[in-house]
Structure formats: C-alpha cells, structure tokens
Amino acid sequence: MPAEEMEKMDTHHHDQPVEDTEIKDWKRKLVWSWIFTIPIAILMLSERLFGFALIEIPYSTIVILLLGFPVVFIFGWDTIKGGTRGLFTFYFNMDSLIALGTVIAYLTGIFSLGDVVLDYSGVSAMIMAFFTTGKYVEAVARGRASQEIKKLLELGAKSATVVRGSKEFTIPVSEVKIGDIIIVKPGEKIPTDGVVVKGESAVDESMVTGESLPNDKVKGGNVIGATINQDGILYVKATKVGKDTFLAHIIKLVEETQSEKIPIQKLADKITGVFVPTILVMAILTFANWWYFSQDLSRALGVGVAVLVIACPCALGLATPTALMVGSGMGAKRGILIRKGEAIQTMKEVKTVIFDKTGTITKGKPEVREIYSKAKENYMMEIAASLEKLSEHPLSKAIVNKANLKKYKKVTGFRVLRGRGVEGKIGKNEVIIGNTNLMKEKKISVKEFENKIQSFEENGYTTIIVSENHKAIGIMGIADAVKEDSLNAIFELKELGFRVVMLTGDNERTAKAIAEQVGINEVIANVLPEDKAKKVEALQLEGMVAFVGDGINDAPALKQSNVGIAMGSGSDIAIESGDIVLANGSLSGVVSAIKLSKATFSKIKQNLFWAFAYNIIAIPIAIGGLLHPVIAEIAMALSSITVVTNANLLRRKKI
C-alpha cells in the first residue's frame, strides 16, 4: 500500500469519511487545474494550429511556465510525490509515468529559455489536468464513504432517567453506572443493557434478533441497550455500560470486519507493476539512442517525453471508474445502488448467496395468514379487532389490519395480559383473546382446535385463539409474510448456479417454514447477531459469499461477506454496511445486481484491453520519433474518449 494511503488511514476518524474528503479534494484540484491549463492550451494552439502567437517567444514560454507551475507542482504535488517515490522504493504505479513525464516536460520549458531544447512545458500542464480529471471521476465512482460506525453510535439513547434515592434524574447515558435503576417509558430506547426489576412491557428487539415480533419482558427479563420499549413502563437495573454493552460489541465487530476486508486487487494494478517500469526503461533507452545517433539533445528529449506521454495510462485510469459510473447510473435507475466498486469485481467470483430472513425474504411485519372459525368468520374478526384495537402490540395491529373494520364495537373492562393476550367485555359477553397458555390459565378448552393449532405451528405461525364466554370460537395464524417476489428471485439464483442459504436469528421451525415457501434447502437458524459474521466466514472457506440482509444485527455479516447486499427498506446501519444497496427492498434486485455487476466488470475488462492495445500500437510509433509530444498528448486524450464511449455502450445491456 502506498505510504500516502497509509497516512490517510492513520489519521482517519469515523466522523470524517475518507471518500467524501477525497472527492472534494480532487474536485478542487480539477477546477483550479483547468483554470490555469485552458489559457496554456489557447497559447499553444493559437501558434501551432493557426500560425500566430498571442504572446511572442520567450515571453509566452515564461507565461506558460508560470501558469503551469501550480498545475504540476501544487495541484499535482501528491501525484508527483507518489510517482517519484516509486523510483526510490521500486513500488511503481500509474502516477510514476505521469510524474516523470510532466516534470521532464516542464523542465524543457526552463531549458528552452537557453535554446538548449524545444519547449514542451505546456504539455506538462495539460497532462496533469487530464490526469486530475480522471482521478476525480474515479473518486466519484467509488462513492461516498461508509459511515456505519457513526450511525451505530447514533442508535443508542442519548439520555437516561435514573432513580437515585427517592428522586429521578435525567442524565447522559455516559454517566449511567452499573447498578443504576433506569425508568424506561413507552416509545423510549432502553439506554443500556440490563435486567428488568419492575414492570411489564413488549420490547422491539428486531435490530438485535432479526425477529419481527416484539419480546415480552417481565421482572427478571434481560434487555438490551438501544432496543425500543413499546407499551409499558419498565424499571431496568443497568448490568453493562459503555464498551461492554451489546451495541458497543456490534460496533467493534463492524470495525474489525471492515479493517480485515481486503478489496480484490484491480486487474489494472497487477499489470501496472510490470508496465510502468518497462515504459520507464524504454523511455530512457529511447532518449539515449536518439541522443547518441542524432546528437540532438532537444530531439532526444522530445522523443523520450513523447514515449512517456503516449504511455501515460490516463485511459487505463479511466477504464474502471467510467464503467463503474455507467453501471452505477444504470443500477440507480433500477433501485440498485453500488456503494463500493470492488463489489463489481468480486461478484463474478461469488458462489454462495446467503439471505437473512426477517425483512429480507419476508416483509418484516406480522400479518394474519390463516383463519379457522367455528362461528361466522366476520363476527369473530369483528369482536377480535374491537378488543385488539385498544392494544399497541404488533400482533394486535395485524388482527386489526386484517379485519379492516369501519366501525368497532364498544369494549369495557379491557386489560392487557402481558405475554399471553387481552381480555374485555363487549356488551355482556366476556371476550378473551390470546395464546394457548392463556386459554389454559382461564380453563378454556381448545380440544376441537388442537389439530388446526398443530398445523399452524408446523407452518411457523403464531397462533391466537379467540374465545367468547369461556368458549373458544376460532383461531388465527399470524406470521411474517414472504415478499411477493422472493420465490421467483431465489428460483432464478438457483437456475444461475448459485448455492442459496438462509441465515437467521429466528427459531428453526419458523425459519424452515419460510425457507420451504421460497425454495431454500439450506437453513442456519438460532444464530446470535455476533455469530452471523462467523457463520459467513465459515461458508467463505468454500468459496466467495454474498450476504443479503437488512437489520442492524446483519451489519457485521454484510461487512464480513465478499459482497454485502443491503435492503434499502432496512436499517441505516445495514444500508451503510452494504457494498450494494437495493433501494426498493425487492429480492428481484439481487438477481439484477448480480447481472449488472457481471456486465459492468465485462465492460471494465474491454476498457482495459483497449487502453493497453492503444499503448501497444502507439508506443512503437513514439519510439520511432513519429509523434510530437503534443500529438501524443492529443492521442492520449482520444484514447480516454474511446474508453469513455465504450463504457457508455453498457447502457444497451439488459439486466
């Protein structure tokens, strides 16, 4: 890795994205480079193309040197520094040719004042301006930096209400101590990991477990910081604070997997290591031969500079980013956002596609999937929805949504029976709605529904029983519904030869029921959030892996995988952790993303071929002294235009 990149990494902070800074930096250099280069181009072209000089020599040379100095040695200083360093460290990159060519060309302007050589100083500024433009395009194509760490930190609660003595205090979360009793009201985030010492409530832990249904918490239950309390007041004793909390642990995992994930080396970089030193040697030999045989230093320098310039890999530098930009634009129109260019190259090697369940294959919210009633179904749904409308529980909302009533019956004596169900009266009729445990507690027989309840459970449904006047009248099966396009998308992936696996924190029964619906044969269930990345790592031993997920608990796995595909309908942290983001949350986008990635990488390879083919043809012409450096520079620009045009042909590809 070049030293300047190491320096950037060492000084980088999470709140200052590297790519954001890089884009702004190259844009500034690009604008100022062309402000100084355009007058140089006008001075050069007026004399060479139209036969008259706007400023007489040697004054025009002095003006060009003054205008060219900031372009080459201020805006292009990082390139010059990085390129010339390679001469001493033998780490050659594309900057090496640019640095040597521009510096030598610039120096000819100084020596031309003493009539030693011809002036090619204007060419140096034009080369650097073109190169700077290419670097800006590349920086934009790479996209903006991941800010997942910053977003994770923002997930936690900012303050906590603690009880100390007989008083309540609102303090910053950073001041919470182990043993503090924290009051968490409905709708609030739980400030830190702890155990419930008083109160009952449902807590939305989907960010942690991936399960769409909330978990009921009673005295003695464990809670996790940053999860959301829903409908009851909880008194929580803090058991972990600061870096020991679950959220801090997830942050650490993301940081580790981020630093360990090494991008696949671009094809151009592999060749550049040999190409650049070869060109340097050829340029030196060309210069020496021409000087020896012609005894003309100016001519020899001109030919040597022409070789460096014509070999200048600007087209090579544009080959990848231009194709990426076109591919990214095509993807964006289809809801496929390519955040990391490396994913394009890596995708062609992927053998296994791993899917999270909740919010990825499924919609991520419960729906009434099946109803079985001994009474009239409309009547059962009417009394059930009338009671459930008074509850904030997601299962209650699913029942209300299914009933879709315009008018609800009046309910009296309504009570929430935590973790079991609800009860109340409609007129004189006593209505109890809940799970089998509640029915047993209330001594309500469900014998005639046993077979159906078993069937519901085998399908992975949460079973809700509706009773009236201590008699069960019907049951409902509630589950997270599969997205409409999941089956087709997974079938197409299997047809393309991919191994498809489901990885979820949900229980095995539910996971297998969902997997069966969409045609997935391999299921890994009951996986803790911190273990998801480890499971991905284990599967990577058998080949490259793409992971598709949407939850905060998926962030480490998205980073660990070779290609992370995040659902845009998911959490911000998952989106920021993904290499590719599917904005519309549709699984068909996974298939399109894979096709787009392969098409884009194919276009990158074509661009690289044309960039090198141009060099192979043009370099011998330059060595033969048949190319003036200015013509070489124009030819170099034309090669870049060819690459950009070829990249735009990608738009015709159907994905």
- Residues classed as catalytic: 356
User: Is 261 exposed, middle or buried, given 0-12, 13-18 or 19+ CB atoms closer than 10 A?
Assistant: middle
Q: What is the DSSP string of 107-149?
A: HHHHHHTTTSS---HHHHHHHHHHHHHHHHHHHHHH-SPP-HH
Taking alpha carbons only, the member of 547, 545, 655 closest to residue 603 is 655
Taking alpha carbons only, the member of 359, 384, 308 closest to residue 571 is 359
Triad 534, 555, 223: Cα angle to 5°? 90
Taking the CA atoms of 293, 296, 299 and 302 in sequence, report the sign of the dihedral they define: positive
Supply the DSSP symbol for 189.
Answer: B
Say how far apart CA 244 and CA 555 lie, in whole Å: 18
Q: At 547, phi and psi to the nearest 5?
A: -115, 130
> Is there a contact between 490 and 519 (Cβ–Cβ < 8 Å)?
yes
Taking alpha carbons only, the member of 137, 142, 130, 132 closest to residue 20 is 142
Q: Is the link from the previous residue into 58 a cis peptide, with omega within 30 of 0? A: yes
Q: How far is CA 157 from CA 171, 195, 242, in A?
A: 11, 17, 12
Per residue in 10-44, is it b (16+ CB within 10 Å) or e — as a string? eeeebeebbbeebbeebeebbebbbebbebbeebb
Supply the DSSP symbol for 428.
Answer: T
Tokens of 296: 């003309």
Which residues sit opposite 483 in a β-bridge?
Answer: none
Strand-by-strand arrangement of the 201-204 sheet: 215-217, 201-204, 228-229
> Is there a contact between 489 and 588 (Cβ–Cβ < 8 Å)?
yes
Q: What is the DSSP string of 259-279?
A: HH-PPPPPHHHHHHHHHHHHH
Q: What is the DSSP string of 614-638?
A: HHHHHHHHHHTT---HHHHHHHHHH
